[in-house]
Amino acid sequence: MNKIKLIIILLIITSNISYGQFFKHTSISVGLSTSQILGNNPGKLTMQPSATVEPFVFGGGFLGAQPGLEVRVTVPIDEEQRWRIPFGVDYQFFNAKERIPIGPYIEDHWAHTFTAITPYIGLSYVMQDLNFIKSKTYVSLEFRALSISNISSTWEEKYFFFPDLDTLINNRTKPNAVRLGALARVGVEGKLFDPIKLNASVGLSLMNLVGKDDSRRELLTPFKIFEIKESYVWNLNFSFLFMYEL
């Protein structure tokens, strides 16, 4: 009986030591993130088709950086704390609006929105310890699972002097989508004040590395009309996070 008690006590002590070593320098980060479509992907074209724009499609309308929130946990896996495993979630709010004059007193208003939830896990390496400014630089490669949902598209025709004639149509959109992608990131961490640090990074990501569906057509546009396939979607990603080390 005493041997059993001793074994249990040793197991508890060992597990507490392992837990403390594993989480000793683990950090939790929360902050802002943005995603901007690169290249000539239809997702960044205007929603109203134009004969002067190629290809002739109803674009997604996402012309600039789309805002979001990010939560990240970073776990060191070696004694020098150079190799780390980051994992977390990106929550992006894609929101596009356009106003197009039809005549002196008529305007078309287009809107296209959806949410993009992206859990991820990766491997990070600290390149430099800049002790004189209490900072470090790092690179990381992440594997990401993108989920697009809450897709909405509306068209409204507004009459300036005859509001009773205003027309609002909720367009039928594409179904939700799930894709697997990747992101390469370079960043810098700097001490703000104990125990808070700042983490700023820039990355290049591919949203749909795996799981493209040509029958759904383009990933980030509201309608299939005039489309023939799903193109790769490259993004420029920024994040600005506040870090707390456990």
Range of the domain at 132: 25-245
Residues β-bridged to residue 126: 138
> Residue 79 maps to which CATH number?
2.40.160.20
Looking at the domain assignment, is residue 183 inside a domain? yes
- Structure tokens given for 239: 């994040």
Interval 237-246 mean pLDDT: 95
Total domains present in the chain: 1
pTM of model > 0.95: no
- Structure tokens given for 123: 């491997």
Question: Phi and psi dihedrals of 223, rounded to 5?
Answer: -125, 155
Chain segment 100-125, per-residue pLDDT in tens: 888 888 999 999 999 999 999 999 99
- Residue 13: what pLDDT? 41
Looking at the domain assignment, is residue 19 inside a domain? no
Going by C-alpha positions, the residue among 193, 75, 191, 79 that lies closest to residue 140 is 75
Looking at the domain assignment, is residue 13 inside a domain? no
Interval 2-9 mean pLDDT: 50
Residue that is written with structure tokens 């057509």 in the block: 217
Looking at the domain assignment, is residue 115 inside a domain? yes
pLDDT at 17 over 50: no
151-155, long-range: CB within 8 Å, 24+ apart, which pairs? 151/113, 151/114, 151/175, 151/176, 151/222, 152/111, 152/112, 152/113, 152/114, 153/47, 153/110, 153/111, 153/112, 153/113, 153/222, 153/223, 154/109, 154/110, 154/111, 155/108, 155/109, 155/110
Chain segment 41-98, per-residue pLDDT in tens: 999 998 987 656 566 778 999 999 999 999 999 999 998 889 999 999 999 999 999 9
SS3 28: strand
Chain segment 165-196, per-residue pLDDT in tens: 888 889 999 999 999 999 999 999 999 888 89
- Residue 232: what pLDDT? 98
